[in-house]
A and B are shown apart, each in its own frame.
Chain A
Amino acid sequence: MSPFILTVLLSGLGLGTTITFASSHWLLAWMGLEINTLAILPLMARHHHPRAVEATTKYFLTQATAAATLLFASTTNAWLTGQWDILQMTHPLPITLITFALALKVGLAPTHFWLPEVLQGLDLTTGLLLSTWQKLAPFALLLQICPANSPLLIAFGLASTLIGGWGGLNQTQLRKILAYSSIAHLGWMILVLQFIPSLTLLTLLTYFIMTFSTFLMFKLNNAKNINSLALSWTKTPMLTALTPLILLSLGGLPPLTGFMPKWLILQELTKQGLAPTATIAALSALLSLFFYLRLSYAATLTISPNNLAGTPAWRLPSTQATFPLALSTMATIALLPLTPAAATLLSL
């Protein structure tokens, strides 16, 4: 893609998120979301492959529906309360409608069906962009609307963690596994939204770091499915040694960073008297942990001196910059001791 058009599109992505972050008016927030959707479409379809075009079309249709629902909810709010301020929402109907719209935008269950298919049709870099950057703007809005209807958010959260866990169990394609992992993490974020919103932000940022490492690690090894992941030790043995730690951090295992949000969320849920909810969430994390463990097994426990899984690839010099991956891998593995600092710094 021409560097000029690439610059325009990436700056459009930045502009959209910035506008949504900076807005206190619903119309401006909606504009930011639409700019994000618009700018990422050519990025998704840039390889001109039918599967990528299919993913682009599905993404566009779902995001447009979500944005239209958001606009409808904002105008309903303007009609019912007479003002457009995001922080001043009081009527429950627009709040619920906006929660549904943002859930569809972000990929929470039960509006998650588009995410695995869309992510599967994209290359790993664009998939990373979709999983991380495109979640920032909707969450900025979710954090501001202070949704107070407890059963709806808990239902979204538990459905997402369960479906994220169960759905990922039958997958061999890594991008679909990452999609279901995304759904599960979004579920955890939503569970704690109405109690401590800063924990939602903490979970979001931790998820960003972990999934950044995972996507870049898959990209460096050119691994799209479990079979090619099993050959990554021939290409980058050092990174393969760290791969289980990255994946288990995604699974939320202590003493890795991924444990931090789950720990704090379970603590808060218990303090709020929602012990069954906390139990179900913790048990559903076991489902996700199983497929992360399966990936770790395929990457590390099938190596020499076992039988060779396939023909090892030529070890040619890679053109991918490894510094970002190195940084995020260390952050994914070793940031748990910073829990008090993180929880304090992010207090909204």
Chain B
Amino acid sequence: MTLLMYLLMFSWIFALVAVASNPSPYFAALGLVVVAGSGCGVLIAHGGPFLSLVLFLIYLGGMLVVFAYSAALAAEPHPETWGSGPVLIYAMVYLLGVVGAAVLVGGGWYETSWVPADELSEFSMFRGDMGGVAFMYSSGGGMLVIGAWVLLLTLFVVLELTRGLSRGTLRAV
């Protein structure tokens, strides 16, 4: 289990470096997949399987897929991968930063664990991550409505900003 945790956390950090070193969007998205996947593994080990499931389904399966399709529309013949010049330099510098941070903070136990479950009165149980979502649908109903309205607002904003094809806002630049 310790080995698994080590693997997941190391891959998380290295994939973050891979994303931050500014390669072409295809490779950055690949780095994001590894980040999200290993992050989900760490979440599961710390008591949040529902959160991890939602992350996989919505973030990777929804948002990243849409991003990948959009990036595919802007295909280029020679995308910058981690072997090419400036990206490699960025990656090296960030790795150096990671090693430096590890030297600085390494060796201590900084881990806290979330409460996986709470025992409530009369045999009812409150699961840490799932309970939060349940709250949003009961006492947090106002927040849910605001969240839904804001999503609709975002849709209108994006539609308004990208309206007009070649006569519109973004193309004029």
By a beta-carbon cutoff of 8 Å, the part of chain A in contact with chain B is 1, 5, 8-9, 12, 15, 19, 28, 31, 34-35, 38-39, 41-42, 45-46, 48-50, 52-54, 56
Contact = CB atoms under 8 A, between A and B. Distances in A.
B3 interface: no
A42 B160 contact: yes
A41 B153 CA distance: 11
B172 A38 contact: no
B126 to A, nearest CB: 18
Interface residues of B, number: 17
A45 B161 contact: yes
28 contacts: A5-B160, A8-B156, A9-B156, A9-B160, A15-B146, A19-B146, A31-B146, A34-B150, A35-B150, A35-B153, A38-B153, A38-B157, A39-B153, A39-B157, A41-B157, A41-B161, A42-B156, A42-B157, A42-B161, A45-B161, A46-B160, A48-B168, A48-B169, A49-B172, A50-B173, A53-B170, A54-B173, A56-B169
Interface string B32-65: 0000000000000000000000000000000000
Interface-centre pick from B154, B157, B161, B167 (highest chain A CB count, 10 A): B157
Nearest to B143: A28
A50 B172 contact: yes
B64 to A, nearest CB: 20
List the 7 closest A-B pairs by CB distance, nearest first.
A42-B160, A45-B169, A48-B169, A12-B153, A50-B173, A53-B173, A50-B172
Contacts of A53: 169-170, 172-173
Nearest to A4: B156
A10 to B, nearest CB: 11
Nearest to A1: B160
A299 B106 CA distance: 66
Given A9-B160, A15-B149, A45-B161, 10 more contacts: A5-B160, A8-B156, A12-B153, A15-B146, A31-B146, A31-B150, A39-B153, A48-B167, A48-B172, A53-B169
Contacts of A15: 146, 149
B164 interface: yes
Interface string B61-76: 0000000000000000
A116 to B, nearest CB: 20
Contact of A38 (B143, B154, B173): B154
Main DSSP-derived SS at the A contact region: helix
A261 B172 CA distance: 43
Contacts of B173: 50, 53-54
Contacts of A49: 172
A244 B157 CA distance: 39
Interface in B116-163: 143, 146, 149-150, 153-154, 156-157, 160-161
Contacts of B146: 15, 19, 31
A186 B60 CA distance: 42
Contacts of A52: 169
Contacts of B172: 48-50, 53
B104 to A, nearest CB: 18
A42 B170 CA distance: 11
Contacts of B167: 48
A9 B150 contact: no
A5 B156 contact: yes
B18 to A, nearest CB: 21
A242 B153 CA distance: 41
A42 B159 CA distance: 9
Contacts of A46: 160
A67 to B, nearest CB: 13
Contacts of A12: 153
A54 B173 CA distance: 8
A56 B161 CA distance: 10
A48 B168 CA distance: 6
Contacts of B161: 41-42, 45, 56
Nearest to B149: A15
Contact of B150 (A38, A41, A54): A38
Interface string B8-24: 00000000000000000
A52 B164 CA distance: 16
A19 B149 CA distance: 13
A54 B169 CA distance: 10
A72 to B, nearest CB: 16
A77 to B, nearest CB: 16
Nearest to B150: A35
B150 to A, nearest CB: 6
A198 to B, nearest CB: 30
Nearest to B152: A8
A43 to B, nearest CB: 9
Contacts of A31: 146, 150
